[in-house]
Amino acid sequence: MQGLEGSRELGAERPAAARRRLVFEHTVDGLFRFSLRSRLSSQAWNGLKAVGIDLSKPLLPAYTHDTWKRALELTVVDLYPLLPREEGWRRLGQEVVNGMVHTVMGRAMVGVARLLGPLRSLRRLNNTLRSGDNYVESRLTELSPTSCEVWINEVMGQPAYYQGIVEACLALAGGQRARVRVLAREGTGARLHVEWEE
């Protein structure tokens, strides 16, 4: 019977582990080692180390949501001290995508996005977001061939960050003059209106 009890204990641990929100290494690598490599102050680099992202060592396979969020918060303050807070977060979202394109995973995603074009790439946005972490989900409602609504379940209290991510993804897919605005905050998530020209 003892082996059976051990099985229950292992099974009980699995759901807790599955709920653990993680950001994957290539997302961290793209932002901090590629996009922002020489743009952060030494104070910011020390702050990243203090919150658990030590860029002087090999990166971990994943970082917790809380570590990622704290790292982004100190990065926004360091990079964009003179901008309105929302604009700083929007630009940081763009930087995440611009850095990811330099990783192996990102290069593959860019190739696919360029082949698919803006609308078909947005149809795959959930997969794109899930390649960076294990907890952000999105749903798309198509309004026309060049506009849609995007719902995102978790925006870390900063929907402007996801405005920037979606804008940068559209640009990589060939969308011209992308406009993304927040329609509503919904719990921990948000709904965005997205338009572009082809």
Q: Please check whether residue 178 is in contact with residue 188, taking contact to mean a CB–CB distance below 8 angstroms.
A: no
pLDDT computed for residue 163 by the predictor: 97
Pairing of strands 176-186, 147-152: unpaired
**How many angstroms separate the CA atoms of 166 and 180, rounded?**
7
**How many angstroms separate the CA atoms of 159 and 139, rounded?**
15
pLDDT computed for residue 7 by the predictor: 38
* β-bridge partners, 133: 23
pLDDT per position in the chain (198 positions), as tens?
A: 333 334 344 444 445 545 799 999 999 999 999 999 999 999 999 999 999 999 999 999 999 999 999 999 999 999 999 999 999 999 999 999 999 999 988 888 888 999 999 999 999 999 999 999 999 999 999 999 999 999 999 999 999 999 999 999 999 999 999 999 999 999 999 999 999 998
Q: For residue 39, what are its two tokens?
A: 């743009």
**How many angstroms separate the CA atoms of 29 and 15, rounded?**
28
- Residue indicated by tokens 């360029």: 114
pLDDT computed for residue 108 by the predictor: 87
Strand, coil or helix: 150: strand
